[in-house]
Structure 1
Amino acid sequence: MDQRISFITLAVADVSRSRRFYVDGLGWQEELFVPDEVLMIRAGGHLVFSLWDERGFEGEVGPIRRGDGLVPITLAHNVATEAEVDEILAHARRVGADPVGAAVKRDWGGYTGYFGDPDGYRWEIAVNPGPIGQIVLPD
């Protein structure tokens, strides 16, 4: 098996609401949108970010764990500068992200902040000064 990820799929309560947030709000470009079923967005050269209606997700994958607390996953968007982190967090706040936390310097040397999408998935916006941070930035 090749060492790569082809799709990241998240179950969402309302695909149209997710589309309004990601496409209309954040300005991302959809590759495929089927109302009440799925939204797919190219997120890299060979990576698709898929937002799938939770009923369809459960029908194929199995029951979703529900309850208090956060979903135990974060998605990260790394950038080159602290100013970019702040700009993206401000933009996320303007388009309805909730919550949006202020970015802070982390003990490991990075600068990061988080925002929540309409289903509570947390996006980390980060500058990672180490070698691993460099491999995830576009050329």
Structure 2
Amino acid sequence: MDQRLSFVTLAVADLAASRAFYCDGLGWEPALEVPDDVLMIEVGERLVLSLWVREAFEAEVGPIASGPGVAPFTLAHNVATREEVDAALATARSAGADPVSPAQERVWGGFTGYFADPDGYRWEVAYNPGPIGSKVLP
């Protein structure tokens, strides 16, 4: 099996709210839309973010676990400078994101902050000055 990731699929409660956030608010372009079912956005070379209505997701994948807390993963948007972290977090807030935590210096040398999308999925906006950080920048 090739070492790669092709899709990240998020089950969403309200596809219209997710579209408004990601497309209208953040300015991302849909690659495929099926009304009331799924919205796919190309977010990288050969990488698609798929926003899928919860009921359709559960019908194919199985029941969604629920409970207190947040999903045990984050999505990340890396940028080349600390200033770009602040700008991306401001854009997300303007789009209606929950501003989970402001950007701050991290013990590992980076500068990151977090926001949540309409379904509460946590996005990290990060400046990572290390070698792995440069691998993920365009």
Instruction: Report the TM-score, using the length of structure 1 for normalisation.
Output: 0.97
Aligned partner letter, 1:85? V
Cα RMSD, aligned residues only: 0.7
Pairwise CA distance, 1:91:
1.1
Aligned mates of 2:130, 2:45 — CA distance in 1: 23
Q: 2:70 maps to what in 1?
A: 70
Count of aligned pairs: 138
Aligned partner letter, 1:47? L
Q: 1:49 maps to what in 2?
A: 49
Aligned mates of 1:85, 1:119 — CA distance in 2: 22
Deviation per residue, 1:16-64 (Å, 9 max, x gap): 1100000000000001111210000001110110000010000000000
Aligned mates of 2:19, 2:89 — CA distance in 1: 19
Q: 1:21 maps to what in 2?
A: 21
Pairwise CA distance, 1:108:
0.3
Ranges of 4+ aligned residues in structure 1 off by more than 6 Å: none
Aligned mates of 2:72, 2:42 — CA distance in 1: 23
Pairwise CA distance, 1:84:
0.3
Pairwise CA distance, 1:100:
3.8
Aligned partner letter, 1:107? V
Map 1:24-43 onto structure 2 (within 5 A): 24-43=24-43
Aligned mates of 1:102, 1:45 — CA distance in 2: 29
Could you say what secondary structure the match of 1:39 adopts?
strand
Consecutive unaligned residues in structure 1, runs of 5 or more: none
Could you say what secondary structure the match of 1:50 adopts?
strand
Pairwise CA distance, 1:12:
0.5
Residues 89 and 100, structure 1, Cα contact 8 Å, conserved in 2 = no
Aligned mates of 2:66, 2:99 — CA distance in 1: 20
Q: 1:126 maps to what in 2?
A: 126
Q: 1:60 maps to what in 2?
A: 60
Residues 11 and 57, structure 1, Cα contact 8 Å, conserved in 2 = yes
Check if 1:90 corresponds to 2:90.
yes
Consecutive unaligned residues in structure 2, runs of 5 or more: none
Pairwise CA distance, 1:11:
0.4
